[in-house]
Amino acid sequence: MGPFDLSGRVAVVTGANTGIGQGIAVALAGAGADIAAVGRSPADETAAMVRALGRRCELISADLSSIAPVGEVVDTVVSRLGRLDILVNNAGIIRRDDALDFTEADWDAVIDTNLKSLFFLCQAAARHMVTWSSQDGDRAKIINIASMLTFQGGIRVPSYTASKSGVGGLTKLLANEWAAKGINVNAIAPGYIATNNTAALQGDETRNRQIVERIPEGRWGAPSDIGGAAVFLASRAADYVQGHILAVDGGWLAR
């Protein structure tokens, strides 16, 4: 068994119906993991792709705009798939408006989904993980999806920037607390990734050119680029990686 082999592992991926979440789920399955796809929207396409790789895929409906379903999500995954080894917190939303006009409702909606539910899903998963992690050298893995705005301020997305900055800090805190309990907690900060969520930017000739010119790689990223990073952080190869925020951005931050 190689260091990147995830055979026998069970991974939860939230927001796995499309884009980055789908790319992560398929990549983890390609490395051998069974998948629980969690979210509000059906992930039938993702499930078909995972099953085509010979892995199991359970679809679990949950609205992560509140913490109400988090305990049930973990219980359902363990009941259907037998265990929970890897958690990928990918689900998230964004609201845009000038900071002078930003509403409390838009603030709360983004913080609740992107940060509050993320923390309590980490907590619920970790309560299960600590019952078995470190046995026979196995470690549990939590991977949070951060953002370029974990490092940068951005404009017109105050609650999103605050939430993703919080994800970065929370990732480090949980790594500090849970490393000794056999759980690795890290994050991935995607750069500009070509998904349906960024279709408008890709279709804007001027903005698309500006973005690509800023990226040393000279191209948009693909969901599979994030998937590869997720496989690394979920694998034994990353057993000594803790509290790290891995930018997968084609060099955007280095520019």
Cα 22 to Cα 118, 122, 132, 197: the distances in Å are 18, 20, 28, 13
Distance CA 183, CA 174 (A): 9
Query: What residue type is assigned to position 246 of the chain?
Result: L
240 is catalytic: no
3-state SS string over 86-134?
Answer: EEEECCCCCCCCCCCCCCHHHHHHHHHHHHHHHHHHHHHHHHHHCCCCC
CB 248 within 8 A of CB 191: yes
Q: Which of the following is catalytic: 160, 192, 232, 252?
A: 160
Please spell the DSSP secondary structure of 69-85, one letter per residue. Answer: THHHHHHHHHHHHS---
Q: 190 - beta bridge partners?
A: 248
Active site residues: 160
